[in-house]
Amino acid sequence: MRTNPSALGSADDIEQQFYEALREGDLDKLMNLWADDDDIVCVHPEGARIVGPAAIRAAFEAMLSNGALDVRAENVRRVQTHASAMHSVVEHVRLMTPDGVRSGFVVATNVYMKLAEGWRLVAHHASPGATGERRELPETPQVLH
């Protein structure tokens, strides 16, 4: 049975719960945040496009098979209307390895829609980011020519 994590919440609330679910290794909580639609999409760094709830669940299940992931969203940029929201985030990822803690950054876009059951995630697209410090492009575009 599907639970309703935040019918009265916001896209920000769903995003917070998404990253909490990753840190807790809670696959059911994570999947309850997604829209129940065959066209939802997810792309992990350097991965293929994953479409649909079953495929997305399988991908996250594989990612969480070794335990929770320490991922925290930083530098959030938001664009929102009454029924949709897009968040561009820098994900700070920390992994335990035999050599100690490794840290890196992933640039991600999370897209939310306000549906009858509340805000839900409809797309997560993550790309490799800088491996050391947080890097962002300047606010003002540079002249190309």
| 3-state DSSP of the chain | CCCCCCCCCCHHHHHHHHHHHHHHCCHHHHHHCECCCCCCEEECCCCCEEECHHHHHHHHHHHHHHCCCEEEEEEEEEEECCCEEEEEEEEEEEEEECCEEEEEEEEEEEEEEEECCEEEEEEEEEEECCCCCCCCCCCCCCCCC
Residue 60 has pLDDT above 80, yes or no: yes
Residue 17 has pLDDT above 60, yes or no: yes
Residue 66 has pLDDT above 90, yes or no: no
Lowest mean pLDDT among 8-12, 44-48, 65-69, 136-140: 136-140
Residue 26 has pLDDT above 70, yes or no: yes
* Residue 6, pLDDT score: 46
Residue 138 has pLDDT above 60, yes or no: no
Of 32, 29, 64, 60, give the one whose Cα is nearest residue 47: 60
Of 98, 92, 91, 86, give the one whose Cα is nearest residue 122: 86
CB 96 within 8 A of CB 69: no
**Mean pLDDT value across residues 55-74:** 94
* Residue 95, pLDDT score: 83
**Mean pLDDT value across residues 12-32:** 97
**Mean pLDDT value across residues 132-142:** 50
Averaged pLDDT of the chain: 88
Residue 87 corresponds to which tokens in the numbers above? 């968040």
CB 105 within 8 A of CB 131: yes
* Residue 133, pLDDT score: 45
* Residue 144, pLDDT score: 54
Domains parsed from the chain with CATH numbers: 11-128 (3.10.450.50)
Model confidence at 97, pLDDT cuts 50, 70, 90, reads: confident
